[in-house]
Amino acid sequence: MINFEFAVQELWSFIVVLVRTAAILSALPLLGGRNVPTRIKVTMAAGIAILLTPIVKIHFEPNWLEPLTLLMGLTAELLVGFTLGLTTRLLMASVEFAGQVMGFQVGFGFAQAVDPATQLQTPVFGQLLTVIATLLYFQLDGHHLILLALGSSFNLIPPFGSQLQVPLMVDMIQLIQEMMFTGLKLAFPVIAATFLIHLTLGILGRLVPQMNVLITSFPITISMGLLVLGFGLPLMALILQQSILGMEAVLWDILKELGRG
């Protein structure tokens, strides 16, 4: 009987780790995209859960097998995983936001392509910056930070013990604000260049009324936008690098806020 109870606890320990792992992997860039087959996601989540289960020490409450307690506990595990994965998604959202702003400023607002990762219409600049950000993310071992946060989460947040707190909501709002600010910083060189071009063309349009400013502006803004983007890629990579390296402190704060429940 004791061995049976021990086996049941080990099985549910694996399920708890699997639920939290699958939730965080589903929100990661590239790995959580729709272009990655489901069997690969399931295999990766199960493999990581198998490695973490013997290491993680999970102590269940006496009433943990009650249906309501079990349902609320698994929902809490999903909350932890999605919250940790959301921090990475917000970083990629800032890149997509910057690409959308740059594409609109340059004149690529109508030229949109379907992103295979999200199955949504994404501006061309957004796709380019997303690819660059994803490569930088894995080059700087950003996925290792996520795995480290996942392993540390079981020490800071006991199973079935996470709750939404007011400080956590404040941190998430600040994170969204930083995402918007990072996107604007990435798009600033192109915004400044196109603003000067539009200002110059506006003055020329007043001086030479016969000139069609709308038709003339498209090739100039597109050429200058691509040129500024090419020269500004090192600066954008530096901004993305700082954001990725700053994820460790953000993840740690979020884990502490979730663990207060």
What stretches of 140-246 show up as alpha helix (H) in DSSP? 142-156, 166-207, 213-245
Other Cβ atoms closer than 10 A to 227 = 12
* Separation between Cα atoms, residue 92 and residue 97, nearest integer Å: 9
Residue span of the structural domain in which 90 resides: 2-258
Mean pLDDT of 152-166: 70
Please compute the mean of the pLDDT values over residues 160-182 and round it to a whole number.
75
pLDDT at residue 11 is higher than 80: no
For 47, the token pair is 């493999």
Pairing of strands 112-115, 120-123: antiparallel
Stronger pLDDT, 8 or 71, i.e. the higher one: 71
Q: For residue 49, what are the CA distances in angstroms to 34, 70, 160, 184?
A: 22, 19, 17, 38
How do residues 116-140 score in pLDDT, each as one tens digit? 555 556 567 777 787 888 888 888 7
pLDDT at 162 over 80: no
Return the top range by mean pLDDT from 71-75, 81-85, 225-229: 225-229
Minimal CA–CA distance to 152: which of 80, 208, 215, 233?
Answer: 80
Tokens of 184: 């604007």
pLDDT at 168 over 60: yes
Q: Identify the weakest region by mean pLDDT among 2-16, 42-56, 170-184.
A: 2-16
Task: Count the domains in the chain.
Answer: 1
The mean pLDDT value of the chain amounts to 76
For range 142-149, the mean pLDDT = 78
Contacts of 255 (CB under 8 A, 6+ apart): 84, 149, 152, 153, 156, 157
Q: Is the pTM of this model over 0.75?
A: no
Q: Give the 3-state secondary structure of residue 120.
A: strand
| pLDDT band at residue 1 under the 50/70/90 scheme | very low
The burial of 170, by beta-carbon neighbours within 10 Å (0-12 exposed, 13-18 middle, 19 or more buried), is given as: exposed
For 189-231, the pLDDT digits (tens) are 888 888 888 888 888 878 877 777 777 777 888 888 888 888 8
**Looking at per-residue confidence, does 85 or 162 come out higher?**
85
Neighbours of 184 (CB within 10 A): 14
Residue bearing tokens 């740059």:
102
Q: Work out the pLDDT band at 91, boundaries 50, 70, 90.
A: confident
- d(C-alpha 212, C-alpha 231), whole Å: 29
Cα separation of 257 and 251, whole Å?
A: 10
DSSP conformation letters of 131-158: HHHHHHHHHTTHHHHHHHHHHHHHHHS-
Distances in whole angstroms, Cα of residue 23 to Cα of each of 5, 80, 234: 27, 8, 33
Separation in Å, CA 16 to CA 46, 127, 148? 11, 35, 17
Per-residue pLDDT reduced to its tens digit, 235-245: 888 888 888 77
Among 52-61, 137-146, 160-169, the least confident range: 160-169
